[in-house]
Amino acid sequence: MQYLKKSDLIDIFRGKRVAIVGSGPTALENASGYIDSFDLVVRINNYKTKGIDTRGRPYDYRPHLGERCDYHFSFYGGSVRKTAAELKADGIKGHLCKCPNDDCHVTPWHKKNHQEQGGDFRPIYRRRDGFWIAPVYVPEKAHYMELFNSLGKHVPTTGFACIWELSQCYCDQMYITGFDFFKSSKHNVDEMWNPGKQDDPIKHMPDLEEQRFREMVGRNSTLLLDGPLKKIVLRSRRQ
């Protein structure tokens, strides 16, 4: 097993035109061939290009979403259904993990509700033993906690963590598509998003992530937003 360090990520992405394809339905507004025209394509969790959905229906989104997946960014928990065989068929060059292999932020709420996996990520890596088919990047705990703390001690969504991580890798350009901060209440393109238990003290905070993203856009000229995301950012600035 080959593990990647942060410095390795920088070497991989430095100077590259990178497309980060989120799971929102707005990604379907991309022109044919556009996403795959980038040097590197990064997809999130249960990304969809072509296959059979959870209700047994075939889908083919390749005309708008492309089909390349050079790097897979995921938290790799139990809800991530992508198999090693699927990722191998898509030709991934590396696994990029959101979570450190560590106990990060288990709260009394998690213990009371038997939800320790929401803050202790070590079981993820035990369950994934033997799964990896390409070099793996696992962030250090301190690095992950920097993002966690910047969100007011809330767990980042996987998509936002991907943007934050790769924004530090000196890309020539980062095209961000398929992100609407769950305003559509959908993910995996066409599936309803479950925001989780609202009394969880470290639950996802999409509105706060949107605010942090606007700040990121303001100081990072390499970010290129798709049309719907650009409208969200402009509308928020006017408010």
Condensed to tens digits (0 to 9), the pLDDT of residues 52-108 reads 887 888 999 999 999 999 999 999 999 999 999 999 999 999 999 999 999 999 999
Q: What per-residue string of b and e applies to 55-79 under the rule 16 or more CB within 10 Å gives b?
A: eeeeeebbebbbebbbbbbbbbbee
Distance of CA 81 to the CA centre of its chain: 14
The encoded tokens of residue 225 equal 């937003």
The answer to whether 131 touches 95, Cβ cutoff 8 Å, is no
Half-sphere exposure of 236 (CA within 13 A, CB side): 20
Q: Are 139 and 6 in contact (CB under 8 A)?
A: yes
* CA dihedral sign, ordered 131, 186, 174, 238: negative
What's the predicted TM-score (pTM) here?
0.95
Residue 29 sits in a domain of what CATH number? 3.90.1480
Do 6 and 144 form a contact (C-beta atoms < 8 A)?
A: no
The pLDDT, as a whole number, for residue 239 is: 60
* Residue 170 clears pLDDT 90, i.e. is over it: yes
Half-sphere exposure of 191 (CA within 13 A, CB side): 16
CA distances from 39 to 24, 42, 169, 201, 227 (A): 22, 10, 14, 39, 21
| Residue 211 burial (CB count, 10 A) | 14
Q: Number of structural domains, the chain?
A: 1
Range list of H helices, 18-76: 62-65
pLDDT of residue 100: 98
Element (H, E) at 12: helix 6-13
CA-CA distance, 127 to 76, in Å (whole number)?
9
Residue 236 pLDDT greater than 70, yes or no: no
What b/e string do you get for 90-110 counting C-beta neighbours within 10 Å, with b at 16 or more?
bebebbbbbbbbbebbbbebb
Confidence at residue 53, expressed as pLDDT on a 0 to 100 scale = 81
Q: Tell me the per-residue pLDDT of 213-227, one tens digit each, with 9 for 90 and over.
A: 999 999 999 999 999
Domain that holds residue 155: 3-238
